[in-house]
Amino acid sequence: MRRMLSCIAAITLCFLGATYASAASLRVAPTNLELIAPDSAAVLNLTNESRQPINIQVRVFKWTQVNGVEQLEPTTDVVASPPLAKMGPNANYVVRVVRVSKAPVRKEDSYRVIVDELPDPSRAKSGTVTLIVRYSVPVFFRNPDASAPNVTWNLTRSGRGLMLTARNNGDSRFRLSNITLKQGETKIGSRSGLVGYVLGGATMQWPIGSTKSLSGNAVSLQGLSDFGPFDAKVDIKSR
């Protein structure tokens, strides 16, 4: 499983024909976990909001970013317990996420906990659409001496669109949301909601705007991060 969605909770539609949809029932909180060494364990709280029992599966993957691409790899360094469970109607459940590796956290290690509500074939009905929920929860184990994120930005033309690239020279991740690119007072591109993360020491890129809107050289970026609102200078690079 090498590619992943850039949102914290992804909903997969399993089509069985289509006239109406049954509501998704699983809820997971919190939406991300951060542990500062030597802390090594945290909990996720699961809630079944339906009147029917549901089966869940919990898996942990090592999360990296290589050449601007998100990657998930199986890992034994961090485990979720229990990995499988059956939740009763309107029930609450606790899943422990534990770092079992004895190797010290050098900077910041990143993982994703994938929580799936498994489909129940016995409840499938002809002519329905069943919503199966998947939550992808970021988990970070950070050394207290890890440096803060230090991100540089550039903009390149990619076909008829623009590509925003972030290079994080710090040790810790940078979370990016609700971004706007401007030249002076003119908006040349924007994206609402969570755009994504750039992990420590990694590079990520996202499409934003059209080349038709780019006219000059001075571009600024406004958005939200883990630390609140930010403004940054964006360099324009030619390919």
For 70-110, write each residue's pLDDT tens digit: 999 999 999 999 999 999 999 999 999 999 999 999 999 99
Least confident residue range of 68-77, 157-166, 218-227? 157-166
Could you tell me the pLDDT band of residue 135, with boundaries at 50, 70 and 90?
A: very high
Half-sphere exposure of 126 (CA within 13 A, CB side): 0
- Cβ(164)–Cβ(155) below 8 Å: yes
Domain ranges of the chain: 23-142, 151-236
Most confident of 13-17, 132-136, 179-183: 179-183
Task: Provide the Cα torsion 25, 29, 33, 37; round to 10°.
Answer: -120
- Cβ(29)–Cβ(43) below 8 Å: no
- Cβ(83)–Cβ(59) below 8 Å: yes
Architecture of domain 23-142: Sandwich (2.60)
In angstroms, the CA 225 to CA 90 distance is 35
Q: What is the pLDDT of residue 160?
A: 82
Q: What average pLDDT is seen over the chain?
A: 87
Q: What is the pLDDT of residue 24?
A: 62
In angstroms, the CA 193 to CA 201 distance is 24
Section 122-135 average pLDDT: 69
- Homologous superfamily assigned to 151-236: Immunoglobulins (2.60.40.10)
The percentage of residues in the chain with a pLDDT greater than 70, rounded to a whole number, is: 84
Q: What is the pLDDT of residue 15?
A: 29
Q: Does 151-236 match 23-142 at the fold level? A: yes
What values do phi and psi take at 107, rounded to 5?
-130, -95
- The residues, any chain, with a CB within 8 Å of residue 163's CB and separated by 6 or more, are 155, 156, 157, 205, 206, 207, 208
